[in-house]
Amino acid sequence: MPTTLMRVESASGLALALAGRGGAGVAVVLDFDRTVTNGFAGPDDTALDRRVRGGAASVEALAAARAAGARLFVVSARHGRELVLDAMLVGLSQAQRELKPLLVDGDGEDDEEDGDGVVVADGAAALDRAAPRLARAAFRVVSTPHGALGVCGRIYATDYKKPAAIEHVLTRIRAAPDGTKTVVFVDDFVGNACDVANWAPFGEDPKLNVVSVWWDPFAEEVAGSMKPVALASTDCSYREEYAGYLAAAGVDRAAWQDRLAAYKTIAPAVAAKPDAPPPPPKPVAVPAGFAKLFGERSGGRPPPELGS
């Protein structure tokens, strides 16, 4: 069936997008950076609305969707490596800890068993660490026709292969009694929302309903409740090259120009910094556990200096 592109704004945007969308056969799929988070990096004890985009309204909306039978997933554009997923899981266990019961903890649907993929040996467990390793699902690499995905439980790191990740998510949810499945995808970047809405296989499946939501951060950025993205960043939805995406999402050229002008009033916060040469790398002591693991896997060769 046809896909739907939806645009929402304000801190209550996620709650609006999810209203009435729970139930069997439903997957709620969230981007991570600036969708789950709101762009601020601060102490873990700061106010909820500085750590989770939308604050309590978002947490309550996700909890209601889960209680109604939806499965919740995170699909990030970050690289699909194990340490990248670990960093996301640490965030969801600390800075965004209110979301851990909803997005990280098991939901009764056998996360370790569903889907496909190769379970990768956890070599990092052999490293010397000051703190216990985060308890989590096994890291898997899932091969798709569009490239590999990193998966840990219901958290995906896709390297911008978000439609492919959503196809995989669909293999992990049970259909509603009428045989249909529904995906509600939410992202802060207009390009990702449009790409998912325009993914041809989604529109060709008569039993699939895809609602792709652009949670436009403009109002929150201008109000100061969300950290502005640099106009020079490719993640800024209001760049010239995204005019087609903006038109598809209902932003005409006049509104677009008005918003560009408003962004420029907060230019100090969004100005791109000039490129600077990187500092020379500093050698780092190799942990003993890593040295032992490296030696076992390399026939006894000594490990290189980290940072060299």
Question: Which of the pair, 257 or 39, is modelled with greater confidence?
Answer: 257
Higher-pLDDT residue of 263, 28? 28
Q: CA-based angle 100:106:111, to the nearest 5?
A: 125
Model pLDDT, residue 118:
44
pLDDT tens readout for residues 139-193: 999 999 999 999 999 999 999 999 999 999 999 999 999 999 999 999 999 999 9
How would DSSP label each residue in 262-294?
Answer: HHHTTHHHHPPPPP-PPPPP--BPPPHHHHHHH
Check: CB of residue 36 under 8 Å from CB of residue 80.
Answer: no
Q: Which residues contact 86 (CB under 8 A, 6 or more apart)?
A: 124, 134, 136, 152
Residue 262 has pLDDT above 90, yes or no: no
Confidence category of residue 115, pLDDT binned at 50, 70, 90: very low
CB 37 within 8 A of CB 74: no
Tokens read off for 282: 């500093």
Say how far apart CA 163 and CA 205 lie, in whole Å.
14
| pLDDT-wise least confident of 39-43, 55-59, 214-218, 259-263 | 39-43
Rounded CA-CA distance 267/93 in Å is 33
pLDDT computed for residue 306 by the predictor? 42
Least confident among 144-158, 248-262, 266-280: 266-280
Q: Are strands 181-187 and 208-216 parallel, antiparallel or unpaired?
A: parallel
Q: Each residue of 119-134: pLDDT tens digit?
A: 443 333 322 333 334 5
Residues 6+ apart with CB under 8 A from 207: 1, 175, 179, 180, 181
